[in-house]
C-alpha cells in the first residue's frame, strides 16, 4: 500500500522538476524558490570563481580589494532595475534604494532583506562594517551610518562586485 504522503511528495517533486527543468525556468524570480534553498551559501572553491570573473572583479569580490573611486559605470546608473552580485547573480539591491552619495562608489540606502551578511572590518586600524553576498560570500563594500533618511545608512558598493539588470529584462539564473 502506498502512503498518501509519498504520493504528494512525488507530485511535488515532479512539479518542481517541470518548473526547474523547463526552458521557461531560465528566468528566476524571488518567489519561485524557497528562501532556504535560494540563499544557501555556496561552497565553491576560489579557483572556480577566478575562471568565471575578470581579474579585477575577482580581486574585489574574493580578495577584498577596492576599485578606484568614480571608476564604475554603475555609479551613474539610475534606471529602474536590480543590482545583482557579479559572482553568483543573487539580487542585492533595488534601484529605488540607490542614491548619489558623493563618495565615488554606487551607494544604496538598504539591501534586499537577508541577501547580504555583515562582519567587522579592522583592516585600516579602525572599526568598519564590511558586507558581502550571503550566497557566495563575495565582498561588496562597507556600510556606514552617514546616509540619508529614513535608514541613515550608506551601503557603499564596489561597482565591479555588481551587475545591473533592467526591470524589463529577466534576472539571470543564479550561478552555482
Q: Which residues are catalytic?
A: 156
Question: What is the phi-psi region of residue 22: left when phi exceeds 0, alpha when psi lies from -120 to 50, beta otherwise?
Answer: beta
CB burial class (10 A; 0-12, 13-18, 19+) of residue 6?
A: exposed
Task: Please give the helix or strand (H or E) that residue 163 lies within, else none.
Answer: strand 162-166
Residue of 167, 6, 19 whose CA lies nearest to 94: 167
Residue whose C-alpha cell is 562594517? 129
Amino acid at each position: 500500500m502506498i502512503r498518501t504522503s509519498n504520493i504528494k511528495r512525488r507530485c511535488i517533486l515532479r512539479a518542481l522538476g517541470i518548473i526547474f527543468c523547463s526552458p521557461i525556468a531560465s528566468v528566476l524570480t524571488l518567489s519561485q524558490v524557497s528562501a532556504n534553498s535560494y540563499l544557501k551559501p555556496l561552497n565553491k572553491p576560489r579557483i572556480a570563481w577566478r575562471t568565471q570573473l575578470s581579474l579585477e572583479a575577482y580581486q574585489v569580490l574574493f580578495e577584498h580589494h577596492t576599485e578606484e573611486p568614480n571608476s564604475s559605470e554603475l555609479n551613474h546608473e539610475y534606471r529602474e532595475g536590480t543590482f545583482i552580485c557579479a559572482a553568483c547573480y543573487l539580487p542585492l539591491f533595488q534601484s529605488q534604494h540607490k542614491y548619489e552619495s558623493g563618495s565615488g562608489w554606487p551607494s544604496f540606502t538598504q539591501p534586499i532583506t537577508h541577501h547580504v551578511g555583515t562582519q567587522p572590518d579592522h583592516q585600516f586600524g579602525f572599526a568598519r562594517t564590511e558586507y558581502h553576498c550571503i550566497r557566495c560570500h563575495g565582498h561588496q563594500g562597507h556600510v556606514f551610518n552617514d546616509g540619508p533618511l529614513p535608514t541613515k545608512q550608506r551601503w557603499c558598493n564596489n561597482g565591479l562586485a555588481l551587475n545591473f539588470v533592467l526591470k524589463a529584462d529577466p534576472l539571470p539564473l543564479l550561478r552555482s
